[in-house]
Amino acid sequence: MQNELDLYDITIVGGGPAGLFAAFYSGMRSMKTKLIEASPYLGGKLNSYPDKMIWDVGGQPPIKAKQLARQLIEQAMTFDPTIVLNQQIQDIKRTREGYYIIQSKTGECHLTRTIVLSIGYGAKSAIKLSVKDADKYENSNLHYTVTDLKQYKGKRVLISGGGDSAVDFANALYGIAHDVMVVHRRNEFKGHERSVETLLTNRIRVKMPFAVKRLEGDQARINAVEIDQVDEKGVFLNRCEHVKVDAVIVNHGMKADIGGIRNWGLKTDDRHILVNDKLETGKEGIYAAGDSAMFGNKIHLLAGAFTDAATAVNHAKSYIKPESAMDIFISSHNPVFDEKNELIEQAAK
């Protein structure tokens, strides 16, 4: 299989700020670069606070997170790295030649000399409904997100959850679905104020504080849901109601997990990969950067992510080409920029 795979100098796992800056930096260091991101989007946590103003990035006047993400992506593309989206890396194998083959959850393989893990606190996945047989219906009518509103046309939909997603999906389905019921275990919604107001003005049935207790169905589909009132600790109070449904949508939030990477034999604590001041993990050629890394005086902020990216890439470069170690002082005087500088100056005239 190794023969069929294209060999990269460096593979960056995670396309948040640390990974994006690492992709730029490794291009600048003339490394053949691949960046793999688990989600469909680059930008990492910046996507979770798009309209927040960021003040503390060096040389950058206040900027919204979504704009910073756009700029980081643009910068990352400077040296045309290979970008792979929708692949969560989880397994690793060492080849006889000392390269690594890393494998995604969905089975795709990537061959590389070095790896930078810039995975934040791990890939995000939906928190599952912890009710008997819930997993059995995931391929039929129990969903953790809404990809196509039309599939609920004329249907009776029960939404479990009380955050932004639950409230937004309920509003979006109002008028499309035959009937929408929101079941939430607390007495108030966490969703955006205006969306909650819309939800309460729409004729959407709301059951609070209630939770899903049991799913009723045949082998293939859920036909009804038993919901029960809960106390503030989430304990069922045996005031059950029976709701007939055509579909159940569960929005209980997301959890981040480093998943299979925990089995790579790296030193970790509960959220981080432990590294030394060269950002080496202890496994040859594997580095960690950004929020996923932990070492003395580590800064878990954007400023720290960018410094880590440069440090990890420079040491990855030295690992595959030890004589190149001093090139790091060339930085923006690097001849690779000469042609680009000319183009920029011409465009400015």
User: Interface with ligand FAD by CB under 6 A: which residues?
Assistant: 13-19, 36-39, 44-46, 48-49, 52, 54, 56, 88-89, 118-120, 122-123, 259, 261, 290-292, 300-303, 305
Binding site annotation covers 49?
Answer: yes
66 is in an annotated binding site: no
Report which of 41, 10, 39, 45 is spatially closest to residue 104, judged by C-alpha positions. 39
DSSP state of 127: P
Let me know: does 15 contact 35? Beta carbons within 8 Å. Answer: yes
CB 328 within 8 A of CB 314: yes
**179 vs 308 by CB, closer to ligand FAD:** 308
Contact indicator for 100, 112 with CB cutoff of 8 Å: yes
Classify residue 223 by its DSSP letter. E
188 labeled binding residue:
no
Q: Give the chain's end-to-end CA distance (angstroms, integer).
A: 51
Please identify, using beta-carbon distances, which residue of 49 and 330 lies nearer to ligand FAD: 49
Nearer to ligand FAD, 11 or 160 (CB): 11
The reply to whether 89 sits in an annotated binding site is: yes
Question: Minimum distance from CB of 121 to ligand FAD (Å)?
Answer: 6
Residue 9 C-beta: closest distance to ligand FAD, Å: 18
| C-beta of 133 vs 257, nearer to ligand FAD | 257
Q: How far is CA 308 from CA 32, 68, 117, 186, 318, in A?
A: 19, 18, 11, 41, 15
Q: Using CA atoms, how far apart are residues 193 and 25, in angstroms rounded to an integer?
A: 42
Q: Report whether 108 belongs to an annotated binding site.
A: no
Cβ 303 to ligand FAD shortest distance, Å: 6
Residue (58 or 154) nearer to ligand FAD, CB: 58
Min. distance of Cβ 183 from ligand FAD in angstroms? 28
Q: Are residues 308 and 330 in contact, defined by beta-carbon separation less than 8 angstroms?
A: no
The answer to whether the annotation marks 332 as part of a ligand binding site is yes
Provide the minimum distance between the beta carbon of 81 and ligand FAD in the complex, in angstroms, as a whole number: 14
Helix axes 193-201, 164-173, angle to 10 degrees: 40
User: Residues comprising the binding site for FAD?
Assistant: 37, 45, 49, 89, 291, 332
User: Residues comprising the binding site?
Assistant: 37, 45, 49, 89, 291, 332
